[in-house]
Chains A and B, each alone.
Chain A
Amino acid sequence: MKYWKSIEEYNQGQKDDHAHLPNKIQAQEALKSNRRDFLKYFGFSVASAAVLASCERPVKKAIPLLIQPEEVRPGIANFYASTFYNGGEAVPILVKVRDGRPIKIEGNDLFTLTEGGTSAQVQASLLNLYDESRPKVPTFNGEEISWDEANTNITTGLKAVGENEDIVLLTPTVISPTQKSLIKKLSEQYPNVKQVSLDAYSYSGIKEAHQELLGESIIPMINFDKAQVIVSFGADFLGSWLMPTVFTSQYVKNRKLDKGQKNISKHIHFEGFMSLTGSNADDRYVIKPSEEGRYILSLYNEVAKGLHLSSLENGGFEKEVTKVAEDLIDAKSSSLVVSGSNDKNIQLLVAGINTMLDTYKEIINVQSTINLYQGSDKAYADFLTDCNAGKVGAVICLESNPAYNALNGASFVEAIKKVGLTVNVAAQGEETSQFCQYVLPSSHFLESWTDAEIITGMYSLTQPVIQPIFKTKSVNEILLGWLGDSSNAYDYLYKYWGDNIIPQSEDDNPFLSTWKKTLSAGVLVAANSENKRTLSEVDYSSTGKELSKEKSNGGFELVAYQSVPVGDGKMANNPWLQELPDPVSRVCWDNYYSVSPNLADKKGWKQGDVISISDIELPVFIQPGNHDEVISVALGYGRVMEGPNPEVIGKDVKPLLVGDDSTVKYYTSVANVKSTGSTYELATTQTHHSMEGRAIVRETSLSEYLKDPASGNEMHAEIEKLHTSLYDKHEYKGHHWAMFIDLNSCTGCNACVVACSVENNVPVVGRDEVRRSHEMHWLRIDRYYTEAPEDPSSLRVVRQPVMCQHCDNAPCENVCPVAATNHSSEGINQMAYNRCIGTRYCNNNCPYKVRRFNWYDYTGADAIPFNRVDPAGMSTDLKRMVLNPDVTVRAKGVIEKCSFCIQRIQEKKLDAKKEGEPLQDGEIQTACQQGCPAKAITFGDMNDKNSEVSKMMRDPRRYHLLEELHTLPSVAYLTKVRNIEETKKSEPEHKTHS
């Protein structure tokens, strides 16, 4: 039926112009609601009400900026130059700040000694900023007081100190010229102020030796990059000794075989236990720590004999070191001997050998000093004596934490009971705080203005990148407060630099420009100071006599060392470091007594059996490469790890080392080793230590390499020939990203692992989860032993960083039912986290086992609110500030893995696009690459014929991990080349197959 409205319409079929307007009747119809409509609206409102009511919207405090700060652009990161220093190593850094909060630390590449390298501790130090357990307000006997009150009371207290009493300022080594000047001012104001430096690890011996040699108590600068033969007696210079980041950077320069370099240095290591440095050595001699003196004496004699100089008392090991001496003499004036001992005599004799070898020219530069570790065992011992004698009226600990850091913390606690005024300035929870009247919270270095002179003439600024989070003040501000100086730390620094440091600079620009330049660059090199130190003639005969008398009594010896992750323990309360597996043992979250397999066999100990040495009970870890009579154990433990369930991690072993005299020795003989019968499960990330004859790490010797650069890697060419496929090779039209890892450069320091975790928001899962092999690290450093484990000196160690290999023929990609992991057009194997349903099929099918599954809600990103598993407390509001906003925080039940730092690639690509310039090779740096102090990782575009990686593609040392599987990885490795004479049976039995 058809209705018409007018005759015209009926006749002509013409449409009424106003047909779209509802007429009255239609409108009325429409307005009448019927049952259907009612149900529709009712249903909708009920449903929406339910939905709205169920979505709890948290009230977020977002206060808009009234005045836009000049440099802050939302979503764009700024980098500020600063300096990492916490009493041990100092490293110039760049801090990445986004939206007002620091989220990443990189090395400062303008600092010539590190060239942008970092260490695991530098990377992790960021987290200490966001630590809820930091002291937040000044307290007096546990009661909160105001800063003004505290300063007034303390200055009154200082004034009240009697004339015959000392005011002792107990500091870690102060490397800040500004802070030094403030302390000087303080001692001008209070004439009885005495500064005592206390280092958590003592280097007194080396300084005392140079006192004798140079008349000045210094640690001279060592340049490992100029040494062709390096002989180290227990100096773990790649892991913890003096400046491992700088030394690693120097050391690997002579270990690389790229850019036409055809020679690598020879590294000979003597030690009692397996250290990171020892595991990198070409030749390794396993000796007892008590034999070290006589070994060095023997070496002295052999070198002297070789150079026709007069030798000393017989050391008894002359035969063993003949070969070493020959090597040293052959490379005279480019050879170096170092020792990690804290014994003055040993260090003196080492200096004697170096003098004979002309090392004190290029390699050891006495004109330039390492300003770290200025503490003196004797000065500290004197301080304790004074305390006990009642000669000390006030003790101010400036972030030095003697109750833990001193070898005998208990004696300090005893001693300060007799002191009238005790103040502890602490940036972290410190053992000392509970024994002091006043506890003043100091700022984290990322909240402070200060500076550092790490090496003579090499200055570095520390600038704050965030307002203090708590009511803290920087040490300089606190000192200024006590001086009654109203200027703030910045003003003081600015003025001090203007008066003292800028004039030293070679830069003849006006002050402001140099200051601004330094502020931007972070580092400033002052003009060379004149050669003022000369080596004096030393008679070594008495030293030789003394050392030859040293007897090792044949029993067990215990060596305490600083582990790479936790070091001296200052940063023990850092979940990133606690979860970082030790590069040698691959154990985390604990310390343990490492014993050789032979010793364990003899004693009937199994891994995890708890043994007790002088009442310190720790589990046994079986460590190939240890001397059969040496038990090694890491320092830096026994401190409280804060978090939801605070606990003491490991045991402090320093009480074992306390001797009768004041000198600090890091080994001791132990007589009393008891089994306790109980066991303890260590959290380890690697349980199998042999490559099983598989060609996983390919290596060769230098002599073989020089004959054939592809030696050790013969199978690569063979496998390349066998790569066949039914399908056409996929063409990558734009970029094709690739990563190269030089196994000869990688020392295994683990800086990359932490860098990766920080950059990519990798969760920390805690000890129990690591025990269950649930660790989440995207990047791991595999460590394998070759040769016989029962012969510690022939044991070889190889390391291999393994992350997602970004296979172009990836086994993980085709098994995902929902295509959550797939291949990008630039050759990156990518994860779509929100598509992942968590079947873990990809993980099973990954031959490299680099995929990580979120077993629990580690991050708080899960929809279920009450199921978080976060034993390290990493998902608290404050700690979450450290998250990188460019990287998704993964929820429970999804797989995650290395993304080649896709966010960094994307950022640089966009930058290049905006500028309209092609992307430059080297512009994109992955987090691991940037953090690496050894420059072992190279990232770039394979399609760019001139890129670094394209050049490396042509390197005969190149191979891919498990390349015979035809997974076509985008990550490639360069074979390891050892500087050894003969090739031992290091070539794997494994041959290729089709």
Chain B
Amino acid sequence: MYVSPLREPLVTGAKSYKDVTDDITKPMEGKPGKLWYVGLATALLALGFGGFAIYVTVWEGIGSWGLNRTIGWGWGITNFVWWVGIGHAGTFISAILLLFRQKWRTSINRSAEAMTIFAVMCAGLFPLLHMGRLPLGFFVFPYPNTRDLWVNFNSPLLWDVFAISTYFTVSLLFWYMGLIPDIASIRDRLKDGIRKQIYTVLSFGWTGSARHWSRHESMSLILAGLAAPLVLSVHSIVSMDFATSVIPGWHTTIFPPYFVAGAVFSGFAMVLTLMIITRKALNLENYITVGHVESMNKVIIATGSIVGIAYLTELFMAWYSGVVYERYAFVNRAFGPYWWAYWIMMTCNVITPQLFWFKKIRRNLAATFVISIFVNIGMWFERFVIIVTSLHRDFLPSSWAMYSPTWVEVGVYIGTFGLFFTMFFLFIRFFPVIAISEIKSVLKSSGENFIKKGGRNEK
């Protein structure tokens, strides 16, 4: 393998193969720290609160949300789209970057994929919960039944059902596929006990033979091939919930690419937010280096700029179309009663990420952390702006109304954070956060002497 003497090393600290395994499996061995318990307890508390909010939603009815005759979707669908968007980074990193042979992905793909799965789980909750009659939600599946009823394949909401479930399944498979060699490593490190038995079952009899590796590699490529179009399709389809409608501000052909870019944008922001903390908490600075952060920041600025252009294109098209409703919708976004949401969106998504043009900021962890949070907020408001401000003043002024969430909607949202972080805390405790086998393959991408000298390690 060609070893570059100068390229920034992907793993710093002159790690040996054994060091890698030891470092990465360390958080899983021994007792978890206090911080972990505090984190898990907080997450469970949030989850419990969310559970109560869900109970209220189902028992009392959707009336417990702040929606009304004019605004049929509010925080619920905003959160749905937001979480789905976040769920885009994992697969993008694993599949598309794999196909493009971006080796830096190996340090972050595992956790990004896990994050994807958890985010999609959170996202999936909202379309279910926003239904007026949740127990009848199974009507959306095209199953044969005695009543000769069939679903409506014209409905983007039905496309969502397939898109999200496919995406979830493929992501889960992909993630698990990658985990198998690592689970086997853990299994081998464990002495007898219930844990060993569980990991034995989970490792599917992995022995690390050449044949296993060969199959693993080809399976990974196949799944990557399957997952790559999904990255594009899922959010395109989610965007069609809006794009195929007639509501000014929704009815826009630019939505599919704009949503995909936005999804990758927000997904990377979320990965950054989490990774900056995780690498510190789990002492993985040598594996997730500033170089990784910089690479992700480059993706952020690229996708962020696409999103910014999309915003401007929307404004131009609204003016150029000459349609009164369309024009009004965009004037109302910027200067109507929800102007603040629009300007939060603009600031967080278009202006602050532009700071990443400066290398100093790109490689500054604190700045990156703050900006990544900004992007998360901005992208949430993007969905809020699209959904609520378009709906609240559409065609007939007689029906215009205002919307604000109730505690129940906020509670469900907090609950999904609880779910997400509960899963994440369990994940870092029971599975390796970094793909051990994969990172080993990039360990030697830089000259050993160069790494030993410290390379450009700026941890």
Contact = CB atoms under 8 A, between A and B. Distances in A.
B156 interface: yes
A856 B66 CA distance: 12
A686 B398 contact: yes
Interface string A487-505: 0000000000000000000
Interface in B132-160: 132-137, 139-140, 149-152, 154-158
A780 B399 CA distance: 10
A867 B59 CA distance: 7
Q: Nearest 5 CB-CB pairs, A to B?
A: A838-B132, A893-B132, A855-B63, A840-B72, A773-B68
Contacts of B136: 837
A687 interface: yes
B63 A774 contact: yes
Interface string A839-879: 11101110111011111110000111001010000000000
Contacts of B391: 844
B61 to A, nearest CB: 4
Nearest to B72: A840
A687 B140 contact: no
Interface in A816-842: 816-819, 835-841
A812 to B, nearest CB: 10
A841 B398 contact: no
Contacts of A221: none
A990 interface: yes
Contacts of B72: 840-841, 843-844, 853
Interface in B35-67: 59-63, 66-67
Contacts of B133: 836-838, 891-894
Given A696-B397, A780-B398, A843-B69, 19 more contacts: A687-B401, A688-B398, A688-B400, A690-B397, A769-B63, A814-B154, A817-B158, A835-B149, A837-B140, A838-B133, A849-B70, A853-B62, A856-B60, A867-B59, A869-B60, A893-B62, A894-B132, A962-B396, A965-B246
A330 B241 CA distance: 61
Interface in B119-143: 127, 130-137, 139-140
A531 B328 CA distance: 64
A484 interface: no
B394 interface: yes
Nearest to A989: B324
B62 A838 contact: yes
B394 A815 contact: no
A817 B155 contact: yes
30 contacts: A688-B397, A692-B397, A773-B401, A774-B69, A780-B398, A802-B398, A815-B154, A817-B155, A818-B149, A818-B152, A819-B149, A835-B139, A837-B133, A839-B127, A839-B131, A840-B67, A840-B130, A841-B241, A844-B73, A844-B245, A848-B395, A848-B396, A849-B70, A851-B69, A856-B61, A862-B61, A864-B59, A961-B396, A965-B246, A967-B246
Given A688-B397, A773-B401, A849-B396, A819 B131 contact: no
Interface in A669-724: 686-694, 696
A769 B63 CA distance: 9
Contacts of B323: 993
A362 interface: no
Interface in A754-810: 769, 772-775, 780, 782-784, 800, 802
A59 B399 CA distance: 45
Contact of B69 (A775, A836, A839): A775
B278 interface: no
B322 interface: yes
B130 A839 contact: yes
A852 B69 CA distance: 6
B218 interface: no
A811 interface: yes
A686 B401 CA distance: 8
A773 B152 contact: no
Q: Give the most central of A780, A814, A839, A857: most B CB within 10 Å.
A: A839
A806 B63 CA distance: 26
Nearest to A765: B63
Nearest to B73: A844
Contact of A692 (B127, B140, B158, B328): B328
Contacts of B324: 692-694, 989-990
B449 interface: no
B132 A840 contact: yes
A644 to B, nearest CB: 17
B322 A993 contact: yes
A536 B140 CA distance: 80
Nearest to A777: B69
A867 B328 contact: no
B161 interface: yes
Contacts of B68: 772-774
B247 interface: yes
Contacts of B161: 817
Given A836-B132, A893-B61, A815 B397 contact: no
Nearest to B401: A773
B396 to A, nearest CB: 6
B152 A847 contact: no
B321 interface: yes
Nearest to B248: A847
Nearest to A783: B398
A852 B394 CA distance: 16
Contacts of B158: 817
B352 interface: no
A687 B70 CA distance: 12
Contacts of A864: 59
B394 A849 contact: yes
Q: Give the most central of A694, A802, A895, A961: most B CB within 10 Å.
A: A694
A534 to B, nearest CB: 52
Given A774-B63, A845-B246, A848-B395, A837 B139 contact: yes
Nearest to B132: A838
A815 B156 CA distance: 6
B244 interface: yes
Contact of B132 (A769, A800, A892): A892
Contact of B139 (A690, A784, A818, A841): A818
Contacts of B67: 840, 853, 855
Contacts of B70: 773, 849
A693 B327 CA distance: 12
A800 B158 CA distance: 35
Contacts of A852: 69
Nearest to B137: A837
A784 B398 contact: yes
A822 to B, nearest CB: 8
Contact of B151 (A811, A819, A962, A989): A819
Contacts of A814: 152, 154-155, 244
A819 B60 contact: no
Q: Give the most central of B70, B155, B322: most A CB within 10 Å.
A: B155
B8 to A, nearest CB: 49
B438 to A, nearest CB: 39
B409 to A, nearest CB: 13
Nearest to B397: A688
Nearest to A854: B132
Contacts of B399: 686, 848-849
A264 to B, nearest CB: 26
A98 B184 CA distance: 75
A635 B285 CA distance: 76
Nearest to B130: A839
Contacts of A818: 139-140, 149, 151-152
B322 A839 contact: no
B157 A839 contact: yes
Q: Give the most central of B67, B134, B135, B323: most A CB within 10 Å.
A: B67
A562 B137 CA distance: 48
Interface string A454-498: 000000000000000000000000000000000000000000000
B238 to A, nearest CB: 13
A800 B324 CA distance: 20
Nearest to A844: B72
A799 to B, nearest CB: 10
